[in-house]
Structure 1
């Protein structure tokens, strides 16, 4: 359980850290609107900054959302299950769906991320931010953070399932 506690604390710290990206994203977008419509000034790089902030916010906060059980769930039946059955469903979900999906995404995107870093891949658009390699790096970061949080959830669910047995 100490491993699960440590992983949960890590997810909480990352979640509380990246939540400020939402406010920064809002301020940058507000600045874009004001500069465009009040002053007729536009910047593709600043528009891409909103994209980078948005991607960073959601991909890094996904593990925190899993930790606080905030992901969307269709729980027509799940809500009525006993805690032991909920733990079993969650164990199956993590082992059959989440972990294999994250490992697959990590495996297939790693070459693209590695190549992007090798050439320091530039802007998505002409005049954009010259750091597309940083945006691509969010994919393995997302996968690793979700894998770590999934391990924490599995530890807690196994404990829950076998504790009451």
Structure 2
């Protein structure tokens, strides 16, 4: 039985599309921090080697920006199939076969990992937040707990994209499209 087409963004297909739009927007927005990371890194190099000065907080800032991009764009990478994949058989599968693999991966790997990761990180983040944790360096970045919060953000964005992938795969299997 073929799945009924979504009407005006309603139903499972519309919900999956809404989840993917959310992940796409988050990924695109956070990816701009890559430019900020490069500019801050460039400034650190110029200050150090041209002006013989530097700031610890600036050195930490570009590492933090890189971490924010990496964690914040994980769901975006999954959506665009740019994640690491050991592809031995997947490329040769039909659309239906790929949908089965994607559904199994989303349900059995992505979702449980994202939930477990957030669950295990939560006490660590709560402790960091409660103590207003900051960098261990004297002139380092304040509010280290904000960076640690990116673990929860990453888990959430991966879970959202994993749900969208599972729904898209389920819809493909129900539609019976086997090209």
Same fold (TM over 0.5): yes
Aligned-pair distance for 1:76? 2.1
For 2:62 and 2:51, the matched residues in 1 are separated by 19
Question: Is 2:77 the partner of 1:65?
Answer: yes
RMSD of the TM alignment (CA)?
Answer: 1.1
Q: Counterpart in 1 of 2:101? A: 89
With normalisation by structure 2, the TM-score equals 0.89
Q: Counterpart in 2 of 1:133? A: 145
Question: Which structure 2 residues correspond to residues 1-150 of structure 1 after superposition, within 5 A?
Answer: 1-150=13-162
Aligned-pair distance for 1:124? 3.3
In structure 1, the gaps of 5 or more residues are none
Compare the two structures and name the one with the higher helix fraction.
1
For 2:131 and 2:93, the matched residues in 1 are separated by 52
With normalisation by structure 1, the TM-score equals 0.96
Q: Counterpart in 1 of 2:173? A: 161
Aligned-pair distance for 1:69? 1.3
In structure 2, the gaps of 5 or more residues are 1-12
Aligned-pair distance for 1:63? 0.9
For 1:100 and 1:8, the matched residues in 2 are separated by 19
